[in-house]
Amino acid sequence: MNRPHLAENDQKSARVELISPGISDIQKSDMVAVEAPLELRLHDKPATILMRTPGHDLDLALGFLFHEGIISTSDQVLGVERPEPEHPDHDNILNIRLAIPSRAKSLDRFFFSTSSCGACGKKSLDAVAVQSQPVSGNFIVSPAFLSTLPGMLRPHQELFSQTGGVHACGLFTPGGELVCLREDVGRHNALDKVAGFALERGLHPLSPSILVLSGRVGYEMAQKAIVSGIPIIVAVGAPTSLAIDLCRQFNITLVGFLRGATMNVYTHPERVGV
């Protein structure tokens, strides 16, 4: 795969006026997470625009195409290109060439994907249906082990520490090794970036893995975990009803509201043992 130079500019400074009871108003600089469009082109034709935090754009593009069923291995990507350096949108365009060009036609999401929802531009109810097999992975983890994972993730959330404005997805082994962490203003983008990282390294399916999320679990996160073959999702936030239904249907253990030693196991509790 031919690789472009991928610039990373994931934060910027903003002038703010701090107002707080009991003290004089203060003007200061605040670091904020960057949200910018990434135009994804397939064989020079615009395919979709992803609102993302710049950085790991190639991971994002590969993971997005994988989760959409356009590619199944990184070998199916012949090359990735940026426009010429003098192009005004050089850092916000990726052109991807596939070994099977006809697959590009199956991507029907010609829309702006907002940073809050990865499924917002689907054109029909059929388009949100999950086409996959139930997830495998029969290992068992203890509640005590699961309770340590958010704390193991937190020191690596550098962008969150600087801005407080991004989500994180971490991929762990059953032994507690952090395989990959990605941050983004869009939680679904962060998961696409994790999947793209894994795809390049031939790690799919991710059946011996645990996905740790810094926020809630919605449909789009469950759907992407299913496609990636991840058997356990652990989140510090709440799941939605559709996420619970999908995880139950596709054999994923879903853990939410993980706070210290307390957690809710919504589906397939057989993977959580003493």
Known catalytic residues are: 117
* Neighbouring residues of 173: CB distance < 8 A, sequence distance ≥ 6: 179, 208, 209, 210
Burial class (CB in 10 A: 0-12, 13-18, 19+), 22: exposed
Instruction: List residues bridging with 272 in a β-sheet.
Output: 141
What is the rounded end-to-end Cα distance, in angstroms, of the chain? 45
Helix, strand, or coil here: 58?
A: helix
Query: Cα separation of 51 and 35, whole Å?
Result: 6
The 3-state secondary structure of 155-186 reads HHCHHHHHHCCCEEEEEECCCCCEEEEEEECC
Q: Which two tokens stand for residue 79?
A: 């090359």
Q: Of 251, 167, 254, 250, whose CA–CA distance to 210 is shortest?
A: 254
